[in-house]
Amino acid sequence: MARVARYTDDLIEAYVAGGHWTPAYAVDFWRENASRHPERQAVWAPDGCFTWLESIQVIDHYAAALHADGWQRDEVLVLQAPNSAQLLFLRLACELAGVISALVPITFARAEVESLVASLRPRGVALPVGPRGESLRGHYGDVPLHYTLGQPGGPWPVGHLDATQRVSSAWRFAPYEYASVTTTSGTTGAPRWVEHAACARLSAGRQYVKRLRLDADDVICACTSIFSGNCDLLAYHAAPQAGSRIVLLDAFTPETFCDLVESQGITGAVFVPTLLHRLLDWSELSTRRLSSLRFVTSFGARLAPEVAEQVEQRLGVRLIQGYGASEYGALASTGYDDPLEVRLRGVGRPLEGTEVEIRDAQGQCLPVGSTGRIHARGPHCVGGFVHDEEATQTAWSTSFLAMGDLGRLDEQGYLWLEGRARDIIIRGGQNIAPLEIEGALLGHPAVKDIAVVGVPDPEMGERVCAFVVPANDAQPTLDELCSFMVKRGFAKFKLPERHVLIDALPMNPAGTKVNKRALQALLQADGDLSTHPPPCEE
């Protein structure tokens, strides 16, 4: 089951020969670090601090416990819990025990979990201790085994195993298989599950080690779920290859984060835009000593350039932004040494070995500088969709994956995003990229957050609607927003023709992206889809 059908022998041979893939899994780097630096601290988490040696001892114990509990190779164990050392070690133990870990966002509820159970048929589930875990347990129906994370001693009681019991190498996954499955965002319906191949993720992790100049003196803080996108890449797959220490937050607050920067000497941190906004809005930020920080990464959605600039200036860091997708893996990222304009507005260059083509609607390749749909392939691509061969073949029918975004490559090889292909608004035959409008209006002092969607219109086809989260107690008007854009040189056809003030933007089940389908559903439920010409329009 864990073999990636899309990885042919020729493909594996080519990526191994190119120096991209190795037979290793993430857990192998923990053992290597335990041998080289046994007493060096590896993990700080709410449930304890561990050296590299202590970590691998716990991982070995968990792997042996899984085997003692009767787990067979390629059976699926669901992991759904906030960040903790126990959660991290259990995922690593699954790699040793040949158990596939299903990485489920803590925000997934009944609908997403029922889809998971039907698709993956897991044998067991590991959930957090307490009422939250009990509530989640009800979503899993008759899935029989239940491990609890967060209790003293971890998911197995002290003395569960004989101390002499060891992990057998025969339990392990074979090279170039997948040890985990992860989910797509789920904004278009039930989430699909993707073969999360270690060879591809570790290859991308090595690129991050180079681009961020990671080494054993770095301390990486996971402010988001260690299962999610860039955090999975940086904290789980890159940090152990560099020997960097990992700090895990189970629940982000600006104060908690700043306390850890000061006490743990954090040098790099993984964020999503929502958390960066929260940190910048914190009134006490300027009083904190954050000099150890040298970079932060932001993923899931792009930051407005004005916000990105604030991040660099107020935190004294380099901002790193990446680009990829659950069904693809990591495609591009900025680097520590990239120019300021690239760090603030772009997603950097494609990772080494990645082939990118920009194609038009007919699938024809476009020249450098042209905008079209992004297609990519390379050694950082994960596997296909689990139990869905037809969807996998359709997605990879041309040997390139068509990404959901529009973009362009410049002459220096940098990739610039121009918006989601499915989000493009077609008004009177003219294409409008919501990302461009969102980026502009995030610079308005009365706008804290924004999402732009199309409103059906019998005359124009679609018109522009902006959902605005006001800053503080502001009440920005449509006229103010349009005037702000006109002063910045935007064409009149791109101006919003309706705006809705909203307390918070709805997110996808994974909590990483704005759910624009939910916003459009709000418009439908409202029953008034009318728009009005911008007050400043001639």
Q: Which residues contact 19 (CB under 8 A, 6 or more apart)?
A: none
**Cβ proximity of 453 and 519 under 8 Å:** yes
HEC states along 219-246?
EEEECCCCCCHHHHHHHHHHHHHHCCEE
Q: What's the pLDDT at 517?
A: 85
Q: What's the pLDDT at 162?
A: 63
**Cβ proximity of 117 and 196 under 8 Å:** no
> Torsions phi, psi of 475, nearest 5?
-135, 70
Degrees (nearest 5) of the Cα angle 152, 156, 159? Answer: 95
pLDDT at 527 over 70: no
Average pLDDT over residues 118-132: 93
**Cβ proximity of 231 and 222 under 8 Å:** yes
Domain ranges of the chain: 424-526
In 3-state terms, what secondary structure has residue 258?
A: helix
**What percentage of the chain has pLDDT greater than the value 70?**
94
Distances in Å between the Cα of 95 and the Cα atoms of 155, 180, 230 are: 17, 8, 20
Distances in Å between the Cα of 534 and the Cα atoms of 118, 271, 434, 464, 481 are: 48, 35, 16, 10, 9
Q: What is the pLDDT of residues 470-486, one digit of tens each?
A: 998 899 999 999 999 99
Q: What is the pLDDT of residues 273-325, one digit of tens each?
A: 889 989 999 999 999 999 999 999 998 777 888 889 999 999 999 999 999 99
CATH superfamily placement of domain 424-526: ANL, C-terminal domain (3.30.300.30)
Average pLDDT over residues 362-375: 94
Average pLDDT over residues 326-355: 96
Average pLDDT over residues 515-535: 72
**Cβ proximity of 204 and 235 under 8 Å:** no
Cα distance between residue 24 and residue 198, in whole Å:
8
Q: What is the pLDDT of residues 197-218, one digit of tens each?
A: 999 999 999 999 999 999 999 9
Place of tokens 């307390």: 503
pLDDT-based confidence at residue 532 (cuts at 50, 70, 90)? low
Cα distance between residue 481 and residue 256, in whole Å:
35
Cα distance between residue 189 and residue 108, in whole Å:
13
48-51 vs 355-359, strand pairing mode: unpaired
Average pLDDT over residues 438-452: 90
In 3-state terms, what secondary structure has residue 199?
A: helix
Structure tokens at 71: 């787990």
Cα distance between residue 198 and residue 380, in whole Å:
10
Q: What's the pLDDT at 400?
A: 96
Q: What's the pLDDT at 538?
A: 40
Q: What is the pLDDT of residues 90-122, one digit of tens each?
A: 999 999 999 999 999 888 888 788 888 988 999
Rounded to a whole number of angstroms, the CA Rg of the chain reads: 23
pLDDT at 403 over 60: yes
Average pLDDT over residues 8-31: 97
pLDDT-based confidence at residue 164 (cuts at 50, 70, 90)? low
pLDDT at 26 over 90: yes
Cα distance between residue 229 and residue 226, in whole Å:
8
In 69-158, where does DSSP find H-type helix? 85-97, 110-120, 131-137
Structure tokens at 148: 């609890």
pLDDT-based confidence at residue 174 (cuts at 50, 70, 90)? very high
Cα distance between residue 393 and residue 383, in whole Å:
11
Q: What's the pLDDT at 20?
A: 97
- 91 or 531, which is more confident: 91
